[in-house]
């Protein structure tokens, strides 16, 4: 765990990589949006050949949707361009392409960064996480709701529909006018874009192409967000013990991906670097990691080891790690058995003096 003495130095070491480069940003826009459009159109053309050709093309297209989202993500942090106006414009456009309202997500994501891994400030821009004690004290209905939410089939199967098609179409309670207007604008632009595509190629062709593109990109997006904070020995603390730097370095993973997938996902696997300094543009994340030795100690996960996170359900404050529902079930049964045994012992101890008293009489 990073000590407080190293916090300032660590952020200073990363600071030089916060400088964005206009040429790099424009280059990334070109090598992301142009292939996205070409691949989507190619997937449509392939319908006349075979849908078995369309599906793999749609999956590759979904990868470029993820890469588009990384640009959107950088714009939300104001790290893609120096100009706030440029970030807002490109952020809104890429938000339309990824079905995410720019101002709404920008607000909730900034809260996520400010409160990540803080047990006293959960609930905005993050996954629903309960501690073992909270789960044990929950009502049956709350337990059922939590188990439903944490089920992989629900999270990654229904999740893309619930989040991208439903949740992001509405403003959050208490949203400011700028945020509300941006959400309405995003919805209107999505409607216009989809209506134009349906008019041009027909609704059946549109669904056959956009359906798998949407689902695969949504699933992968939720997976990346999930796995980079939900590893076994992650970091969660109460407010009085919580540290921003520890939350970044110890509560965010280094998702070591093959180079092609690292490129497609815009280096977001260097999530510990991103949480330490959100102003570092995605194309500088790897450089910042390589140049900062203390960051090499961050928890490293691979595609194979990341699959273990599917069993992580509850945060155990006593052992400082994620545990499964099965682990908690065994523990609660053991505690119940111990309490029963203790109760029996107390009762027996109380009965013995009474029997001795009766025998004396």
Secondary structure class of 277 (helix, strand, coil): coil
Q: What's the rounded Cα separation, in Å, for the pair 301 and 254?
A: 6
- What confidence score (pLDDT) does residue 333 get? 74
Residue 316 carries which DSSP code?
E
Kindly state the tokens that stand for 208. 């056959």
pLDDT one-digit tens code per residue, 264-285: 999 999 999 999 999 999 999 9
DSSP per-residue letters across 220-276: HHHHHHHHTT-STT---B-TTT--HHHHHHTTS-EE---HHHHHHTTTTTBHHHHHH
| CA nearest neighbour of 261 among 53, 41, 67 | 67
Kindly state the tokens that stand for 52. 């078995």
Whether the predicted pLDDT of 336 surpasses 70:
no
Kindly state the tokens that stand for 80. 């893609």
pLDDT one-digit tens code per residue, 55-88: 999 999 999 999 999 999 999 999 999 999 999 9
Instruction: Band the pLDDT of 353: cuts 50, 70, 90.
Output: low
- What confidence score (pLDDT) does residue 173 get? 87
- What confidence score (pLDDT) does residue 126 get? 87
| CA nearest neighbour of 220 among 248, 249, 261 | 261
Whether the predicted pLDDT of 4 surpasses 70:
no
Kindly state the tokens that stand for 358. 């009766």
Q: What integer best gives the mean pLDDT of the chain?
A: 91
Helix (H) or strand (E) holding 301: strand 300-301
Q: What's the rounded Cα separation, in Å, for the pair 119 and 67?
A: 31
DSSP per-residue letters across 94-108: HHHHHT--HHHHHHH
Angle among Cα 280, 285, 291 to the nearest 5 degrees reads 105
CB 266 within 8 A of CB 309: no
Backbone φ and ψ for 255, nearest 5 degrees, come out as -85, 100
Kindly state the tokens that stand for 197. 């595509």
**How far are the Cα atoms of 248, 345, 360, 361 from residue 354, in angstroms, in the given order?**
61, 15, 10, 11
Neighbours of 326 (CB within 10 A): 10
Q: What's the rounded Cα separation, in Å, for the pair 331 and 317?
A: 14
Backbone φ and ψ for 300, nearest 5 degrees, come out as -100, 130
Instruction: Band the pLDDT of 332: cuts 50, 70, 90.
Output: confident
Whether the predicted pLDDT of 151 surpasses 60:
yes
| CA nearest neighbour of 113 among 275, 232, 292 | 275
pLDDT one-digit tens code per residue, 30-54: 999 999 999 999 999 999 999 999 9
Instruction: Band the pLDDT of 251: cuts 50, 70, 90.
Output: very high
Kindly state the tokens that stand for 237. 């603390």
User: Percentage of the chain with pLDDT > 90?
Assistant: 80
Residues forming a β-bridge with 237: 118
For the chain, give the number of residues: 361
Torsion angle (degrees, nearest 10) of CA 192, 198, 204, 209: -70
pLDDT one-digit tens code per residue, 207-237: 999 999 999 999 999 999 999 998 888 999 9
Instruction: Band the pLDDT of 346: cuts 50, 70, 90.
Output: low
Neighbours of 361 (CB within 10 A): 4
Instruction: Band the pLDDT of 290: cuts 50, 70, 90.
Output: very high
């Amino acid at each position: 765990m990073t000590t407080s003495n190293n916090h300032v130095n660590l952020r200073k070491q990363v600071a030089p990589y916060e400088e964005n480069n206009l040429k790099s940003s424009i280059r990334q826009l070109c090598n992301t949006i142009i292939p996205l459009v070409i691949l989507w159109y190619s997937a449509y053309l392939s319908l006349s050949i075979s849908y078995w050709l369309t599906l793999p093309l749609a999956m590759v297209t979904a990868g470029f949707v993820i890469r588009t989202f990384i640009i959107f993500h950088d714009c939300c942090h104001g790290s893609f361009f120096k100009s706030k106006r440029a970030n807002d414009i490109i952020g809104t456009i890429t938000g339309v392409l990824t079905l995410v309202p720019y101002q709404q997500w920008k607000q909730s994501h900034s809260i996520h960064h400010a409160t990540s891994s803080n047990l006293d400030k959960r609930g905005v821009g993050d996954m629903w996480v309960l501690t073992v004690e909270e789960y044990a004290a929950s009502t049956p209905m709350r337990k059922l709701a939590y188990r439903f939410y944490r089920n992989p089939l629900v999270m990654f199967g229904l999740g893309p529909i619930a989040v991208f098609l439903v949740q992001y179409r509405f403003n959050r309670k208490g949203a400011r006018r700028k945020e509300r207007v941006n959400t309405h604008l995003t919805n209107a632009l999505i409607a216009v874009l989809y209506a134009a595509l349906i008019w041009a190629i027909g609704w059946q062709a549109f669904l056959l192409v956009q359906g798998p593109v949407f689902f695969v990109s949504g699933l992968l997006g939720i997976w990346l967000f999930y796995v980079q904070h939900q590893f076994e020995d992650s970091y969660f603390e109460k407010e009085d013990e919580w540290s921003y730097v520890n939350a970044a370095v110890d509560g965010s993973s280094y998702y070591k991906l093959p180079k092609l997938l690292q490129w497609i996902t815009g280096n977001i696997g260097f999530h510990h670097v991103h949480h330490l300094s959100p102003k570092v543009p995605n194309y500088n994340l790897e450089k910042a990691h390589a140049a900062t030795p203390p960051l090499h100690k961050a928890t490293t996960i691979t595609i194979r080891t990341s699959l273990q996170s599917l069993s992580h359900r509850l945060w155990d404050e006593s052992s400082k790690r994620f545990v499964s529902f099965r682990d908690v079930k065994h523990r609660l049964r053991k505690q119940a058995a111990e309490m029963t045994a203790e109760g029996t012992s107390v009762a027996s101890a109380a009965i013995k003096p009474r029997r001795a008293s009766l025998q004396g009489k």
